[in-house]
Structure 1
Amino acid sequence: MSPQEATTDRATIQRVILPSADQTDTVSLYVDAGSARGVRLRETDELARTPKLLEDKLQMVSSESREAHFEDLLDRHSMRVRSGDQISFGTYFNAFPASYWRRWTSVRDVRLVVETSGPGTVTVYKSNARGSVQRVDGKHVDGEATSVFDLSLKPFGDGGWYWFDLAAGTGDLFLKNGQWETSGLPANKGQVTLEITTMNKPDFCLNNARILAENPDVLENVKEILIVDQGTQKVEDQEGFAAVRDALDGKLRVINQANLGGSGGFARGMFEAVENGSDYALLLDDDIVVEPESIVRLLTFADYCRKPTIVGGHMFDLYNRSILHTFGEVVDPYRIVPALPHADMETRHDFSVSNLRQTPWLHRRVDVDYNGWWMCLIPTKVIREIGLSLPLFIKWDDAEYGLRAREAGFATVSLPGAAVWHVSWIDKDDLVGWQAYFHARNRLITTLIHSPYPKGGRVLRESVQTDVKHLVSMQYFTEQGRIDALRDLLKGPDDLHKVLSTKLPEINALKAQYPDAQLKEDVDDFPSPKLGRGPMGGTVVGLPSKKQLIPWGIKTVARQLIKAPGPESAERPQGYLAHRDNRWYRVAHYDSVVVTNAEGTGASWYQRDPKKLKAMLTEATMLHAKLFREWDNLAGQYRRAVAEISSIDAWKKTFEANSEGGS
């Protein structure tokens, strides 16, 4: 059966899916065992005063959260429920996100169709925005059976899901198929260009192309699969590429271009989608594993939206696959930083510990400002109206685009049940090193264009504070990048396209001048510290209190400016610091220290230099003062330039100037 066709007068809008054979660690995202009545609890005052009650409640939660048997999963759409067992499909990938369909589409009624074989019951449940579970309907089944439930979406204004459970009777019960339908087809069944931007991650890219080739039913409305290869390790050179290309039957195309960063790669995907007449561009990161059904779900949801809508997928941790990184993001308008849409939300939620039914905050609909471009579907109508990505290389391109779209009247939806597994940045620190330039510049560009507050709200103050933290931490290479970002920002928007392919090499060329930028694989590659030379007698230094912070900062900066480091600090470090201990308020007490990086792949030697500190602090302060004075004029320049620098014509010239040919 086609993913979008159930009968002549009805359309399938979501299918029940199960994990593939190599995804044993993701079962909890698809099915789980136990009753539908589990709820995750917080230790309220009442429970805290009654330890026995708390213990009983927590035991109930634990007993209700069991994983299904992996060997009972028969294929991507069918499974066995053992006699006497109960299996719930109230899970991330198989519950129906009713409140999202209620809010963003014209669909007001859905039909659940469940095909089974054997004795048992099919029970339908729903939740509200508070996470309360309610039984809706149920049917006893035996032999070959098709259970049909007609359900209304009207009660789901603020949140809530539908799902069903299966309970096997005296014998095994088999799920043969399950799907959610609605009456009538959408006004337009759109075609999509699926684009992956990659930079020297050919194995990831080829793996995702292989996943797509193995799931041809999700490609029915995919017009083209496009890989924009910006690296030196080419996807086309990988063993097995030809076989995958042939399996995709002419849908795969590779474009080789110079490294224009994520914004350049994703802009190319937008550009090609407009050029080939697609209705949507689906942007994907390279270092992911895609749940292929997500493609159908995003496209189907977008087709049914009342007006053109950006629809994005969520991100799970590739190396801890039951953990959802975040359920949706907004931009704090006063600080211009990513933020959570409401206070109850958690980041890094582990579904193997607390499933959907047990986690009340997951039932509230989350409205977002943007969706990360690890997986994001953008209508070409939106692209034609507001343009492509800004030429920012990396960082803030996705958030800025979401804000720009919202201001033009186009919403973004982060759709539950559509997701990828992505290499998490929880073990990265991209605020340090070469990426600091792009973080600083692009955040300020986004602020200049979109901030509703005078002088950008709190952004300039936080930028100055960040400079001080890097400087007292002896991260001079990082601070040089931030200073260069301010210089370039003040030049205005005219050079953004020109420097797109040259800025990163310029930044990397500076590394040789800074010891903190030179990475060695092992701490033993550095001189060993002298016993007892660490500051504060080896005592762990804590974060100064809010009241002490300013006096502490003044005292620390003054000491680092006035007091020369001991001569031995250039010969050997005072100690080693693991990355988790590399906090500015600790590092500031050292004159010389070896620090490991976030990825655990190496370490750098930080050495205090009063001359660098004085020169950089002076320049950063002067640049911020100039930016403050010229803020209003500069904001006008950037706002007026957006239409031109994000235009199809401007990007076309950049692509032509940086082309390496393609296939």
Structure 2
Amino acid sequence: MSVAEKMDSTTAAPGSAQRRTLQRVILPTDAQVDTVPLYVDAGSASGIRLREDDELARAPKLPEDKLHLFSSGGPTVHFDDIHSRRSMSIRAGEQVSYGTYFNAFPASYWRRWTDVRTVRLEITTSGAGTVTVSKSNARGSIQHVESSLVNGETTTVFDLTLVPFGDGGWYWFDLAAGHEGLTLVEAQWTAQEAEGAEQRAHGKVTLEITTMNKPDYCLNNARILAANPDALENVQEILIVDQGTKKVRDEEGFAEVSASLGGKLRVIDQGNLGGSGGFARGMYEAVENGSDYALLLDDDVVVEPESILRMLAFADHCKKPTIVGGHMFDLHNRSVLHTFGEVVDPHRIVPATPHADMDMRHDFSVANLRQTSWLHRRVDVDYNGWWMCMIPTAVIKDIGLSLPLFIKWDDAEYGLRARAAGYATVSLPGAAVWHVSWLDKDDMVGWQSYFHERNRLITTLIYSPYPKGGRVLRESVQADVKHLVSMQYFTEHGRLEALRDIFKGPEQLHGVLATKLPEINALRAQYADAQLKENVDDFPAPMLGRGPMGGTPMGLPLKKDLVSWGVKTVSRQLVKTPSPESAVRPQGVLAHRDSRWFRLAHYDSVVVTNAEGTGMSWYRRDPKLLRSMLAESARLHLRLAREWGELAERYRNSVAEITSMEAWKKTFDAHSVDGE
């Protein structure tokens, strides 16, 4: 078949094989003005990335006829020309591109993971102009594929091969309007089902949202889903697992939203079993109700509902059962991509980016998809965050539900477990949510430190290919030292508790699922660094000029000096008694971004703002507490090193049992609320 053919929309060949829509071209809603660059942008299929002024000053001089490419006053998309989620007008003489995050076709992902080898692009337009199809390769080089003139009400069809997309690359199209303007009526990418066979059955989905005291976020996503009924066509059930005290059922407007979802919404109230307990319930219910997929969705997100259709189409075409996840954009800066794909560094057991070129704070309003070469290389991942992740129930039946970890590392562990069993995870471009970025949180301190430490060690014990977990034990000791010299004693208490609980084994994980967080929070009263106050004026006024270096923030020591600096700093904190006045007045106040361990280590007493900016705590140095906690850390890490092999075998052998449907059912039954 030719690369492109132009045909009237009413002349499709009778008796032709059925086709399935893989991806529709979509446009932002009226409430999403700040997301326009993710859907459509103005200009040609090539361009020069905008640069900051200081970079421009160092750049080679360009000919005057090229300087306009750096101008911020170039062509823009007119938001008032967007008619609906699928249709928009292009003004006379202007050009727009659909080579964007949500509307370019991620050809390399379909090429690698599915059985699709040819896709058809169908573009329906009204008016006169030009349709141009382009593609890219893994290096981001742009190649013209085909152009076609259009006039009147026309559907233009391009049949496109996926064969050259082994390592990366996208397809997309641009529209250029003639003198009278041009309207995009609709466009979609489709695939032909097998000749002589019935159309491939669409999988059935249980869409599950885990929530904890965020009923407003949760109900907002339910409204978004209700407003997009076509995205729910194959959703068998929308399940909200409510683990909070502020119930979604009690939120204003719940009854109306529930009614608008046509009986698909069900709420389960259960005790707070954390994210792993909520998502495990979603997996469990999806298996029980006969769904083909469990689509896990965080509560504090804004979802692009078209993602559901795209993920389902992709998963249905995968060569074998595959976990399909969506990407994450910054909820407070919606054109900024926060997570495009993650792997686990096997030597350190920490999340990492798949390759060094990736920019995890990429702003599409500054540089679009076509101008950003690293976005064209296919990214293969170890796992996908459970802010949006669709898991085939065939995988759940084979490898079990989530580990009972409460929060942290449950999604990464599941991806590693699935990979070990032969199931891949794909983070699919064009499927995404908006979520509060990690930059606005600091979950390495406070009560969450317990779960970070324990669950990272559990994951290491089960999956590390290196003796005694590679660098994990060494880094764990280093982290203890950093928290201790930073006067974060409540945080360190949680980390030490995590180490102790590792030795209790996997058998107790279900039993402490609902009790561990209350136990940790009950310790807050013992530690000054855990006492949060709203305003800096709630503390005594700081001593003028009495902080280290007069209160001027200090930088990180040079790498060659780090060991000697650390020994000197820890020694000082171990033996030198804090000044008496530091117990009654802080030496200074530090903003959260300045409260790095190598700065905090020089203070005896300082007030520190938390990551959210909602309050601050008074850190005060306690040499006696430092000595006892440092000794306990050394003792526990030495024991862990000695018993590593035995513990690793114990945890590995327990996975099938503690993630089974039967084990989780006992936990759900024990923590049911109101008979659920």
TM-score normalised by the shorter chain: which range applies? over 0.9
What does residue 430 of structure 1 align with?
A: 443
Name the CA shift for 1:550/1:36 in 2 (closer, same or farther; >3 Å). Answer: same
> 5 Å matches for 1:566-585?
566-585=579-598
Bigger drift between 548-557 and 76-85 goes to 548-557
1:33 touches 1:64 (CA, 8 Å); kept in 2? no
What does residue 319 of structure 2 align with?
A: 306
> 5 Å matches for 1:185-196?
187-196=200-209
Q: What's the secondary structure of 1:342's corresponding residue?
A: coil
Equivalent AA in structure 2 for residue 438 of structure 1: F
Distance in 2 separating the partners of 1:398 and 1:346 = 22
> Which residue among 83, 98, 106 is the counterpart of 2:107?
98
Residue 76 (structure 2) pairs with residue 67 (structure 1): yes
Distance in 2 separating the partners of 1:115 and 1:144 = 7
What does residue 629 of structure 1 align with?
A: 642
Equivalent AA in structure 1 for residue 340 of structure 2: F
Distance in 2 separating the partners of 1:468 and 1:325 = 30
Instruction: Quote the offset at 1:47 in angstroms.
Output: 9.8
Bigger drift between 536-545 and 420-429 goes to 536-545
What does residue 153 of structure 2 align with?
A: 144
1:326 touches 1:346 (CA, 8 Å); kept in 2? no
Q: What's the secondary structure of 1:543's corresponding residue?
A: coil
Residue 134 (structure 2) pairs with residue 128 (structure 1): no
Name the CA shift for 1:634/1:208 in 2 (closer, same or farther; >3 Å). Answer: same
TM-score w.r.t. the length of structure 2 is 0.95
Distance in 1 separating the partners of 2:84 and 2:60 = 44
> 5 Å matches for 1:302-381?
302-381=315-394
What does residue 224 of structure 2 align with?
A: 211
Residue 256 (structure 2) pairs with residue 247 (structure 1): no
Distance in 2 separating the partners of 1:548 and 1:612 = 27
Alignment RMSD: 1.8
Equivalent AA in structure 2 for residue 128 of structure 1: N
> Which residue among 495, 499, 508 is the counterpart of 1:482?
495
Equivalent AA in structure 2 for residue 509 of structure 1: A
2:383 touches 2:414 (CA, 8 Å); kept in 1? yes
TM-score w.r.t. the length of structure 1 is 0.97
Distance in 2 separating the partners of 1:493 and 1:404 = 16
> Which residue among 428, 432, 445 is the counterpart of 1:415?
428
> 5 Å matches for 1:189-588?
189-588=202-601
Instruction: Quote the offset at 1:50 in angstroms.
Output: 5.8
1:32 touches 1:65 (CA, 8 Å); kept in 2? no
Identity level (%): 75
Name the CA shift for 1:406/1:176 in 2 (closer, same or farther; >3 Å). Answer: same
1:47 touches 1:53 (CA, 8 Å); kept in 2? no
> Which residue among 169, 172, 175 is the counterpart of 2:178?
169
> Which residue among 15, 25, 29 is the counterpart of 1:16?
25
Distance in 1 separating the partners of 2:637 and 2:71 = 54
Instruction: Quote the offset at 1:417 in angstroms.
Output: 0.2
What does residue 79 of structure 1 align with?
A: 88
Q: What's the secondary structure of 1:661's corresponding residue?
A: coil
1:40 touches 1:360 (CA, 8 Å); kept in 2? no
2:22 touches 2:310 (CA, 8 Å); kept in 1? yes
- Per-residue Cα deviation, 1:154-186 (whole angstroms, up to 9, x for no partner): 010000000000000011100001001111176
Equivalent AA in structure 2 for residue 586 of structure 1: R
Instruction: Quote the offset at 1:187 in angstroms.
Output: 4.0
Number of aligned residue pairs: 657
Distance in 1 separating the partners of 2:214 and 2:567 = 45
Distance in 1 separating the partners of 2:64 and 2:477 = 49
Distance in 1 separating the partners of 2:89 and 2:224 = 25
Instruction: Quote the offset at 1:92 in angstroms.
Output: 0.3
> Where in structure 1 are there 5+ consecutive unaligned residues?
none
Q: What's the secondary structure of 1:400's corresponding residue?
A: helix
Instruction: Quote the offset at 1:56 in angstroms.
Output: 8.0
2:19 touches 2:199 (CA, 8 Å); kept in 1? no
Bigger drift between 8-17 and 372-381 goes to 8-17
Equivalent AA in structure 1 for residue 418 of structure 2: A
Runs of 4+ in 1 over 6 A off after TM superposition: 46-49, 54-58
Name the CA shift for 1:49/1:512 in 2 (closer, same or farther; >3 Å). Answer: closer
Instruction: Quote the offset at 1:60 in angstroms.
Output: 2.3
What does residue 593 of structure 1 align with?
A: 606
Equivalent AA in structure 2 for residue 107 of structure 1: V
Equivalent AA in structure 1 for residue 25 of structure 2: V
Equivalent AA in structure 1 for residue 588 of structure 2: G
Instruction: Quote the offset at 1:539 in angstroms.
Output: 3.1
What does residue 52 of structure 1 align with?
A: 61
Q: What's the secondary structure of 1:481's corresponding residue?
A: helix
2:18 touches 2:199 (CA, 8 Å); kept in 1? no
Distance in 1 separating the partners of 2:497 and 2:56 = 55
What does residue 638 of structure 1 align with?
A: 651
Instruction: Quote the offset at 1:512 in angstroms.
Output: 0.1
Residue 167 (structure 2) pairs with residue 158 (structure 1): yes
Distance in 2 separating the partners of 1:49 and 1:194 = 51
> Which residue among 166, 173, 191 is the counterpart of 1:182?
191
Distance in 1 separating the partners of 2:65 and 2:475 = 47
1:65 touches 1:354 (CA, 8 Å); kept in 2? no
Distance in 2 separating the partners of 1:83 and 1:41 = 26
- Per-residue Cα deviation, 1:376-421 (whole angstroms, up to 9, x for no partner): 0000000000000000000000000000000000000000000001
Bigger drift between 535-544 and 608-617 goes to 535-544
Equivalent AA in structure 2 for residue 320 of structure 1: N
Distance in 2 separating the partners of 1:206 and 1:618 = 48
Distance in 1 separating the partners of 2:16 and 2:213 = 45
Q: What's the secondary structure of 1:552's corresponding residue?
A: helix
- Per-residue Cα deviation, 1:327-348 (whole angstroms, up to 9, x for no partner): 1000000000010101111111
Distance in 2 separating the partners of 1:49 and 1:257 = 60
Name the CA shift for 1:479/1:186 in 2 (closer, same or farther; >3 Å). Answer: farther
Equivalent AA in structure 2 for residue 640 of structure 1: N
- Per-residue Cα deviation, 1:56-80 (whole angstroms, up to 9, x for no partner): 8775255797431110000000000
Instruction: Quote the offset at 1:40 in angstroms.
Output: 3.4
What does residue 118 of structure 2 align with?
A: 109
Bigger drift between 9-18 and 459-468 goes to 9-18
Distance in 2 separating the partners of 1:55 and 1:389 = 59
Equivalent AA in structure 2 for residue 567 of structure 1: P
1:39 touches 1:360 (CA, 8 Å); kept in 2? no
1:434 touches 1:507 (CA, 8 Å); kept in 2? yes
1:186 touches 1:303 (CA, 8 Å); kept in 2? no
- Per-residue Cα deviation, 1:106-150 (whole angstroms, up to 9, x for no partner): 100011100000010111010111111111111111111110111
Instruction: Quote the offset at 1:54 in angstroms.
Output: 9.8
